[in-house]
């Protein structure tokens, strides 16, 4: 099922602030009026609201639990119209039924996992588009962590909601797919414009950096990200959103086709998917 429209609004959320963005900003000739609100759920999950001020529509990206989503709605004064689900895991869907019952919102979910997600109204797959008021996202299938995982990319808004496929300086554990599938999914996300802001499902940045430094200790961008993350955590700030450009430079899981990374894990000259599999296997044991 596809919802077609034309997106016009990029976000003004800045990394590290757990609050909604309301200011009108401009990057190049693109006005930034979409609003986002980042908040914590469960023990280490992130929740995000995406709001179209022109229509009043608001989407929750996943719903780990209902309570923090309700608090975020009260804080912002926004009305929940949509829940966009990235994958079936309970720590991303636990609040869906309660929120739908209260707000009568539309629940959109990946076609290949819809049977494992409660209260679904619409199913989407690769190439479909989803409208939230006047904002539009296209769907990327990003299997690996789960077999039917998807990401929602608001292209003109420069927003990517990637669930548990890509993390800040990390990636999801390969549970239902294969390393080859996960590497292909990561390449899709890596191909997005560098200024695309990336919202992931968990606050894992500091632990991810500790591991990444075991593979690329001399990576200057990674070293700088480590210092930045320390400052953010010390200040009680979130370490996301990050950007595609930042991740390309510092996230070892996106760098399996960099010769130095392959050499660091003893796989110089080997296929990048094999290098990725080795990096992911090392992280599993770290």
Q: Check 91, 121, 155, 221 and give the catalytic one.
A: 91
- Which whole-number Å values give the CA distances from 58 to 31, 108, 284, in the listed order? 19, 13, 36
- Which whole-number Å values give the CA distances from 61 to 35, 74, 186, 201, in the listed order? 13, 17, 19, 9
How far apart CA 200 and CA 203 sit, in angstroms, is 8
Q: Is 22 a catalytic residue?
A: no
Q: Check 37, 51, 88, 92 and give the catalytic one.
A: 92
172: exposed, middle or buried (C-beta count within 10 Å: 0-12, 13-18, 19+)?
A: buried
Close Cβ partners of 229 (under 8 Å, ≥ 6 residues apart): 205, 206, 209, 239
Q: Check 37, 51, 87, 138 and give the catalytic one.
A: 87
Q: Is 221 a catalytic residue?
A: no
Q: Is 138 a catalytic residue?
A: no
Q: Is 91 a catalytic residue?
A: yes
Q: Is 164 a catalytic residue?
A: yes
Q: Is 92 a catalytic residue?
A: yes
CA-CA-CA-CA torsion sign (240, 128, 109, 166): negative
Q: Check 12, 52, 62, 164 and give the catalytic one.
A: 164
Q: Check 88, 89, 138, 149 and give the catalytic one.
A: 89
State both tokens at 268: 């110089």
Catalytic residue set: 87, 89, 91-92, 145, 164, 202
């Amino acid at each position: 099922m596809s919802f077609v429209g034309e997106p016009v609004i990029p976000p003004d959320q800045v990394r590290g602030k757990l609050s909604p963005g309301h200011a009108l900003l401009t990057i190049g000739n693109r006005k930034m009026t979409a609003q986002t609100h980042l908040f914590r759920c469960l023990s280490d999950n992130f929740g995000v609201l995406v709001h179209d001020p022109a229509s009043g529509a608001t989407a929750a990206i996943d719903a780990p639990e209902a309570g923090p989503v309700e608090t975020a709605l009260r804080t912002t004064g926004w009305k929940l119209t949509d829940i966009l689900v990235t994958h079936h895991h309970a720590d991303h869907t636990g609040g869906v039924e309660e929120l739908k019952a209260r707000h009568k919102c539309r629940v959109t979910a990946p076609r290949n996992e819809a049977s494992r997600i409660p209260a679904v109204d619409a199913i989407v797959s690769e190439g479909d588009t989803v409208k939230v008021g006047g904002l539009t996202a296209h769907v990327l299938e990003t299997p690996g962590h789960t077999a039917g995982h998807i990401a929602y990319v608001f292209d003109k808004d420069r927003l990517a909601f990637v669930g548990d496929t890509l993390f800040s300086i990390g990636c999801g554990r390969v549970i239902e797919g294969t390393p080859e599938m996960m590497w292909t999914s990561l390449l899709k996300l890596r191909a997005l414009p560098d200024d695309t802001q990336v919202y992931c499902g968990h606050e894992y940045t500091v632990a991810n950096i500790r591991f990444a430094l075991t593979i690329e200790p001399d990576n200057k961008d990674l070293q700088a990200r480590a210092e930045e993350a320390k400052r953010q955590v010390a200040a009680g700030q979130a370490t996301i959103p990050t950007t595609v450009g930042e991740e390309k430079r510092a996230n070892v899981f996106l760098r399996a086709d960099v010769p130095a990374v392959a050499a660091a894990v003893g796989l110089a000259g080997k296929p990048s998917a094999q290098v990725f599999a080795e990096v992911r296997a090392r992280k599993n044991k770290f």
